Amino acid sequence: MIKSSIEKLTINIDPIAIAKESGFNLLDYNADDTCVLKDLPFHHKDPFDRMLISQAINRKYKIMTADNKFNDYDCQLFKN
Type of residue found at 70: F
**pLDDT of amino acid 32:** 96
Cα distance between residue 62 and residue 4, in whole Å: 27
Cα distance between residue 17 and residue 39, in whole Å: 34
Burial class (CB in 10 A: 0-12, 13-18, 19+), 54: buried
* pLDDT bucket at 69, cuts 50 / 70 / 90: very high
Q: What residue spans define the domains of the chain?
A: 2-77
Burial class (CB in 10 A: 0-12, 13-18, 19+), 12: exposed
pLDDT at residue 61 tops 90: yes
What predicted TM-score, i.e. pTM, was given to this entire model?
Answer: 0.80
**pLDDT of amino acid 80:** 66
Cα distance between residue 9 and residue 76, in whole Å: 30
